Amino acid sequence: MPKGLKATSGVIVISSGIDESAANTFTSQKVDLQLNVLDREVFVVTAIDLDAFPPDNRTDTATAVNFSLSTVERTSVGGLDDSNVLAHKFIQIQNTGDTSATIYEYSSGDTPHAQLDYIGIIATNDFYLNVQGSNNGQAKNGQSRVWGYRAQADAATFAALTQSELLSQ
């Protein structure tokens, strides 16, 4: 258990999904955690699973789907180099036109390293799903499953977590 936190629930599983508003258009969607900020409640994320719809396989074209889960609203999908992105998935198909295609797929780990207690702590009331396709003929989507538990933070820890999360925008 992270210092300054006291678990107030068992494991909670949150499933959600997002559809691009139009093909190749960045789309972000808020997922409400319904945390009680007056009681300094936070959500400790222990695992995340992201599943993105594959890109189109178009002749002589590189197509892609980029999908992430972040603690704050973003203007781009972002990646693991952004402190507010907790998980990221990327799938690309490079079609060379001679009936062959190369598929490149990257996904951040679904669970933390064995020595870690958690992936991240969400101190604000929600998290965001972000998706954007590239060179696809139709809108793409992604689905997520987040495992974690509610915890109450002491005043100093809650203030630090909230400020850090809000400043990461």
- Which among 38, 47, 37, 46 has a CA at the least distance from the CA of 124? 37
Sequence letter at residue 23? A
Tell me, what's the pLDDT at 104? 85
- Domain of 80, CATH number, reads 2.60.120
- Per-residue confidence band for 169, with pLDDT thresholds at 50, 70 and 90: low
Give residue-wise pLDDT tens across range 60-89: 899 999 999 999 999 999 998 998 999 999
Average pLDDT over residues 39-48: 94
Range of the domain at 147: 5-167
Q: Is pLDDT at 103 greater than 90 in this prediction?
A: no
The whole-angstrom separation of Cα 55 and Cα 61 is 11
Q: How many domains does the chain have?
A: 1
Q: Are 65 and 133 in contact (CB under 8 A)?
A: yes
The whole-angstrom separation of Cα 125 and Cα 40 is 11
Q: Is pLDDT at 164 greater than 90 in this prediction?
A: no
Q: Rounded mean pLDDT of the chain?
A: 90
Q: Using DSSP bridges, classify how beta strands 5-7 and 141-153 pair: parallel, antiparallel or unpaired.
A: antiparallel
Give residue-wise pLDDT tens across range 3-27: 889 999 999 999 999 999 999 999 9
pTM: 0.90
Q: Is pLDDT at 114 greater than 70 in this prediction?
A: no
Tell me, what's the pLDDT at 112? 60
Q: Are 59 and 97 in contact (CB under 8 A)?
A: yes
